[in-house]
Structure 1
Amino acid sequence: MIAIVDYGLGNLRSVQKALEKVGHAATITSDAAELSRAERVILPGVGASADALAAVRAQGLEGPLKDFIASGRPFLGVCLGLQMLYDWSYEDGEHRGLGILPGKVVRFDVPAGLKVPHMGWNQVRFAHRPPIFAGIDDGAYFYFVHSYHVVNDDPACVATETDYGGPFCSSVWRDNLYATQFHPEKSQAAGLRLLKNFAELPISAGG
């Protein structure tokens, strides 16, 4: 079973429909027991980090998410679901993240002429190639919409980088944990391939 985490923020149905398109059913749930039974978990999200983190904690999902990731089963964070994994977010203040990956979330500081948010299609370049990128070319285009990006304390976590006024981390990989700043569910063929790869990872798949 693939569980898509429902904490009140996020384009849950579009993720579910994208998985269905590549032949995999997924359940949208906010139930901690259901998450603990899942074979794979996807944490999507759009909006502000503070609201998302507060919602995850209010629904009692922080512990179950951390336990799931520690179990070694495949986990995928998408957009805000990437940013929440870090120690700190500096979006509209300073907010404690889930602390699963070392680092922080900061606002883009881009040259004049570039707009924030970073929105639209952009390329990803591999620092390391995770299994979920099997069959996807270096330089493939994915769809982004975000004003903040992650800064890693552990460079070994960086899977891909993207350029927007300078390079930034656009996806991460550590053992069974994968997370993308871009939206695979909005990224047409490359995004569908990534979701299919994730859905078909061996349960023991690691780094």
Structure 2
Amino acid sequence: MGREMDQEPSVRTDQQLIEDVRNGDRSSYSELVKRHQKGLLRLSMRFMKDLDLSQDIVQEAFIKAYEKLNLFEGRSSFKSWLFQIAVNVARNKLRENRYHFSDIDDVEIGVNATAESSLIDHAVGNILQKEVDQLPFKQKTALVLRVYEDLSFAEIAEIMQCPYDTAKANYRHALLKLKEVFQTRADLHTWAPETNGMFNEMNAKFAEAAE
């Protein structure tokens, strides 16, 4: 009996918090915001490259999610549903603010960068950053969600509101375009994959896309 009383309360699931919100408990939505705001900001930064605009996306996405919470059916995770809303908001923001997104040198696209990152690593990273930013929106979305958010293609399809095969095709086209950069730039040919963690990661994704 005493042992049971000493046990800490279990963490409530997203679905439980959503039900609480629907029943009038607004504090439960605050918990959902705390739980997902970092991931949503990270995702938004991949698209906007501007902290203020990214924070605007996060705020707008959470407001829209709250207003539409009764429409959430639970067929996907709340995170996927929230990402879907944020991606749509980001798309609209990009259309409104195209002039903001030509300079992306201050956004790190590199994977698993270490303290020993060299100038070569930085140069490769900058090339990738610029190529990623130039991808068509759907291809970039699939790439960001798969590579940086590590979501499954089923989740990506849900977020992009498209068939599974379409999500995978967008991902594949994006990676093949990036691979072409490495193949066509002579200054990249001398950098072996084992010398660069980021290059290793991208090579693995290229191979996966070709399957």
Same fold? TM cut 0.5: no
Indicate the structure (1 or 2) with the bigger Cα radius of gyration: 2
The higher-RCO structure (CA 8 Å, 6+ apart) is 1
More strand by share: 1
TM-score, with structure 2 as normaliser: 0.23
